[in-house]
Structure 1
Amino acid sequence: MRLFEEAFAGAPDYIHRAILKAYVRGASHKPLSDDSLEPYIEPWVGTIGQAAFYRQIAQMDQRYTDEVQDSYGELRCPCLVLWGINDQWIPVEKGRELARLIPGCELIEIPDCGHLMQEDAPEAITSAALRFFIGVDGDATDRHGSRSSSRGR
């Protein structure tokens, strides 16, 4: 697609929709119904959406990530990375590498999960977010590391 952006951008709507559905389905580890796919493909249809979809594909370039990668070590805020073990778009090893580059970063690898974690494992996101932002003991940690109880609010 990257090499033939203009050809894909001019494809008939029914072909474009078939491409979109196949593309997005490849991001999920679990099967997605057409109804589940709709919110993901809707922004990329129509004259403007279709052209934008192929333009963003054509603009994908690893060098943009590489340009900022050396700055990851400067991050000084709590960081949690969730990564689907079955991600077919970006392999879990990239998640491991990212977590190693960020000081104090926690990585949680989610089993039976692809790139679309919100579809494959929404409960894993909720659980990790609650643990990260609230803590298992029910206390919240502010960005300075101070604890404040969420009880009684």
Structure 2
Amino acid sequence: MKRIKIKKPEFNLNPETRNMLISFIITGLLTFALTYAEIWQLIIIPGIIGGLFNKTMRRGIYCGVLGVSLVWIFYLICLIAVKNFYTNLDQFAGLIFGGLGYGSVILLLIILFGILFGALGGAIGSGIMILIMPRFEKSSDIAFKPKETAGNSNQ
């Protein structure tokens, strides 16, 4: 009887894309934890932590924006569906704008703040890595370089 070999799926991701995916997942999970713990004021922290995994500012900003905004959109959809949150938004917008029917403006502002906080956190985190990474590379080159002696040269 012939044995069947099962091939494992291969994901050929370059390290930058893999780091971006990992940082997106970490940012989303931390945002989820902080949002459902109702500590939304610290929402910049998941963006910073997600940005630390990326070497370029652009990827750090993308991870921060996607991680924070997607979780916040999901959270707002749950609030609207379960707690009838939109009527509260509509009443609050009525107090500000002087009429009813402007709840969607407040909803868009909430999503915009999530996008901005995520982008700012991702930019700060990736900026920290851009500043710190050359120092780590320089110190690792010095620490792991084999020492050459003057009398022992292999030709």
TM-score by length of 1: 0.21
Structure that is richer in helix per residue? 2
Compare CA radii of gyration and give the structure with the larger one. 2
Q: Which has the higher contact order (CA 8 A, sep 6+)?
A: 2
